Amino acid sequence: MRLLSFDLNGAPTTGVRLGDEVIDLGVAAPDLPRDLRGLLAAGPQALAAAERAAAAAPGHARHPLERVRHLVPIPRPDKIIGLGKTYMKHVAEMNAEASTFPGMFLRAPDSMVAHNRPIWRPEVSDTLDYEGELMVVIGRGGWMIPRESALEHVAGYACHNDGSVRAYNYIPSAVTAGKNFLNTGGLGPEIVTADELPPGCKGLRLTTHVNGELRQSADIAEMHWDVAHLVHLMSTIFTLYPGDLIATGTPSGCAAAAASPQWLTPGDVVRVEIEGVGTLVNPIVDAPRAGAGDQS
């Protein structure tokens, strides 16, 4: 099942995508939670009910996909955990040292934008970089989750562009700063439930294109720590809750690794695609100057 959040006449709504249509669950299943975080927290029975309701939805609950304005699938998760150093080729290209634990930071919700919405290049730096990633969405919460059962806690997966302002990443101990500028990361277009994909998405290809040019390409199976191990590791630190997001790191090919980096500039379009999961598209614009109003 493909779950998404979208704008309907100015109000956030939860939907299920069936082909070229989006089913409004607020109409098709009014007794279910109205947001994706709540739907995931309600458990497998609620998800099964959503799937049945979408299949039987009346005409007035159906909207053409091309007319839907996507929202970030889970706009306010309890936490967004960013991980790094998970693809060894990327570690090597960045002249970084491999470690026994992944790099780690937290992202703020307002650093994220939805599918087809613009990513902002901040006024303070022109070193905006792309990082195509697989995002893990927690369905069943837990603490100290064994690796052997970790995938049972995963509701699904989404595409993520872990946009980074590299000048800040390079400041010692300031990686979190470079990952949290307003509207610099992309997420979406939807959450694909885990039952539609191989365990941990192993064997699926992740690619990133900028203006149609292939910049990144890797098999998810190349991750040094697989999804089950990453969920387990994070649960030894945090209590994971339904709707929590874990960004699993990026493969080689980022702009920062090039001798002459091609930083993202206004007019560029970044396309992150994961086989079976979807395609996330975000144009690049300059962030508005202070006082110029919200251009999101």
pLDDT single digits (tens) 152-206: 999 999 999 999 999 999 898 899 999 999 999 999 999 999 999 999 999 999 9
Q: For 70, what's the count of Cα atoms within 13 Å in the CB-facing half-sphere?
A: 28
Backbone angles phi, psi at 17, to 5 degrees: -90, 125
Of 27, 53, 71, the residue at which a domain comes to its end is: 71
If asked whether residues 55 and 90 sit together in one domain, one would say no
If asked whether residues 154 and 64 sit together in one domain, one would say no
First to last CA, the chain: 28
Number of domains in the chain: 2
Check residue 289 and give its pLDDT: 86
Per the structure, the complete domain to which residue 8 belongs is given by: 2-71
Is there a domain that residue 161 lies in?
A: yes
Whats the size of the chain, residue-wise?
Answer: 296
Give 276: exposed, middle or buried? Use CB within 10 Å, 0-12, 13-18, 19+.
middle
Average pLDDT per 10 consecutive residues for the chain, totaling 296 residues: 95 96 98 97 97 98 97 97 96 92 97 98 97 98 98 98 96 93 98 98 98 98 98 98 98 96 98 98 94 55
If asked whether residues 36 and 126 sit together in one domain, one would say no
Of 52, 71, 90, the residue at which a domain comes to its end is: 71
If asked whether residues 54 and 88 sit together in one domain, one would say no
Alpha-helical (H) ranges within the chain are: 25-28, 36-41, 44-55, 88-93, 166-169, 175-178, 227-235
Is there a domain that residue 296 lies in?
A: no
pTM listed for this prediction: 0.96
If asked whether residues 86 and 146 sit together in one domain, one would say yes
Is there a domain that residue 295 lies in?
A: no
Check residue 290 and give its pLDDT: 78
If asked whether residues 178 and 238 sit together in one domain, one would say yes
- Rounded to whole angstroms, the Cα distance separating 82 from 99 reads 16
Of 53, 71, 89, the residue at which a domain comes to its end is: 71
If asked whether residues 109 and 216 sit together in one domain, one would say yes
CATH code where residue 230 lies = 3.90.850.10
pLDDT one-digit tens code per residue, 254-270: 999 999 999 999 999 99
If asked whether residues 118 and 67 sit together in one domain, one would say no
- Rounded to whole angstroms, the Cα distance separating 80 from 22 reads 26
Is there a domain that residue 292 lies in?
A: no
Is there a domain that residue 294 lies in?
A: no
Check residue 293 and give its pLDDT: 52
Is there a domain that residue 293 lies in?
A: no
Is there a domain that residue 178 lies in?
A: yes
